Structure 1
């Protein structure tokens, strides 16, 4: 059988950042990744999926970092004020990586409320980026792009800071449109790997999907 995945030894060192800095307004506030589905927090599920794929994991979150201490991850807050959105979390991760892991050139961002992220996420994104000679790579499923879930080159951090602070740019797709971008699509059936829990109703659906996923 022919495989399209590149060998793990050829995947560049990659740091993963779990973005958990949102305000969860549609759930009445609080930390969405701390909600429980199938007996485990959403964050536990994301960590279990991404830990084997990344050289290290950090968590982007604002407020008291002690609430995440049970997970044993470095918590990095936004340094751009006003909750400007996920791009600020990506920037915080790029800056942290440049300072603390200068051996790593790539950061993988993932939403902290996506409990079913693919186990081949990092490999396939790197494969597409390299094949298409792209600067960035993002995930897609069900005819929809998921720009929060993607690969970012650490060397672009100063350009991203300028866009956020000087240009007041907030939308991820407006940022990614400036660079050669690879998009990798995953099947959305029987389970969309990028399902995210945004509402209380989504938690009920996540329980059903978790049962399918855990049985697979």
Structure 2
């Protein structure tokens, strides 16, 4: 489908970070600034405004100067709940769609948004992916999501859907495939070893 207008951006930071011992993983630092600050620096120029999806006390994110969107679905059912929170926010501003990115991915592509816009399927959905040989690896927290599907997503979550691909496959999402050299741009920090690797990548 044709190029869409500039979307809102939503940084997904609603996870529990259990492999890092809990807390706000986006606050961990590499190269002198937090992971979420790296994400803001990369995603911010690609969108017309940004918000953060996070649960708990929103005041702990006040220094970022972003709207903080709590999950609107009960029981924190995963990244689709963050997408829904973002879609509800965008609906209130009159925006037709959002692009999401994870808060622990400091090297996300600088052309993420235009590539997703170009890849949008007939419903307006698109997901980022990488390729290894014949295998495509989807990055389900990086996507273009139309506000028009928010009530469908709300119903799917209420019905027990949790896996992103289980929902996006129903709506013929497009795919934007990104190169993995010199490194995977969707590398995310899940463990202390990952944090050390990200530090080396950022400073290398």
Query: Is the structural similarity TM-score above 0.5?
Result: yes
Which residue in the other structure is 1:124 paired with? 115
Contiguous gaps of at least 5 residues in structure 1: 1-5
Q: 2:68 aligns with which of 66, 75, 82?
A: 75
Which residue in the other structure is 1:195 paired with? 187
RMSD: 1.3
Which residue in the other structure is 1:3 paired with? none
Aligned-residue offset at 1:186: 1.0
Partners of 1:11 and 1:118 in 2: how far apart?
A: 19
Q: Would the alpha carbon gap of residues 90 and 55 (structure 1) be closer, same or farther in structure 2, given more than 3 Å must change? A: same
Which residue in the other structure is 2:50 paired with? 57
- What SS does the aligned partner of 2:75 have? coil
Indicate yes or no: 2:202 matched with 1:210: yes
Q: After TM superposition, where is structure 1 displaced by more than 2 Å over at least 4 residues in a row?
A: 132-135
Indicate yes or no: 2:96 matched with 1:96: no
Which residue in the other structure is 1:137 paired with? 126
Q: 1:22 aligns with which of 4, 15, 20?
A: 15
- What SS does the aligned partner of 1:177 have? helix
- CA deviation string 1:151-192 (max 9, x = no partner): 000010000000001x11111010001012111111111121
Which residue in the other structure is 2:168 paired with? 176
Partners of 2:161 and 2:116 in 1: how far apart?
A: 24
Aligned-residue offset at 1:135: 2.8
Partners of 2:203 and 2:58 in 1: how far apart?
A: 30
- CA deviation string 1:45-94 (max 9, x = no partner): 00000111001000000001111111100001012121100100100110
Partners of 2:170 and 2:86 in 1: how far apart?
A: 20
Partners of 2:91 and 2:83 in 1: how far apart?
A: 12
